[in-house]
Chain A
């Protein structure tokens, strides 16, 4: 009996946490640093609207946007519905320090007859400790004459250290490749950071170090994801093409056969290609 009870409780908790996690990053549960748009429709043309934020559901303690640091209206908080519109909206930026306090965003609609009506939504901002980093800090590959671009898996982690929910994508990732800045829009956690060949110069004659560094990331609501410590850089080593010298037999064969080609040199008979990073032991 106890097992059943605990199982039910556990399931309920999991469901609860699941909903909570999914809700984060929405307009009603924004991350600190995010900007969201709040809108009511079904309004008559000509009515006046006013957005304001209170500390309680009774609408009594109105925050002064000019004084309160926890949020800012980025658009005008009041106006008139006109021009064929039937909706009123406001953009609110939730600043650091807003988390773990409930705010009540109200809209007051005043008709042309002077009568007013009201609605509100409760908003619970979350702290923003989300991070982004590479799955591995180093990798290598042999130089390829066809191009040396590569992909890097990236991890997006939420406040709880778990992988970021899909609803928080897309995310713009800012990164540098050997100091040159780039940006990539990533639609989901399944995508990899694409490092194109054109982003760096690889020298086939010597090992090339490609340093990729994530410098920042922002979600669709302008809230940041912070580069994770010790996982924000990745070093890619592109090994030089091994230097190959002919054996005496090959030199002789070459001498006798003027049609010996570079292809043959790169596809030697009697040689095994060595893996990068190992010493060549095939003889001279």
Chain B
């Protein structure tokens, strides 16, 4: 627990010191969402129909953008290797980094999502479920993304490759996240979709941590 908190505090300090990095991710998120009315036209009914999908896709893309730096910086200056040699298990270190990533990327996205839902004229009923679905879904995005970030350490063109690798793996979270909001807006319950998103998170916690740790060990050999 001590090691987890140490790494978490370190990564949060680094992120706050360069807070422009997480602000960039949030700005990208907002920009992607804002571009859509320019593309599909400002008619409110159409925007309301696509609002949940657009917000989720933008969250996915913003998440992908910020993941490259998760391990890359520590890998390049050798601190990842030193961390792996410490008494703290590499799995705990990976979990701490992923938590820090979610706190500095996922959480700002969740906070700004209602504003964007207003911009896209989303129905009032969908707001709460959108927030809930994002709260349950974005940690899974950080976890799955961590696997991708660990796989591309040392690769050429890592950023684009990362998107190519993890976007197919993001699809289940996207499908159920949008389905939850759409269900509420059509008058149904969203409980099933939220529970499935929770199941994804619970499954991703051990599996993605294991996969990311194995990939990092391959990278620093």
Partners in one complex: no
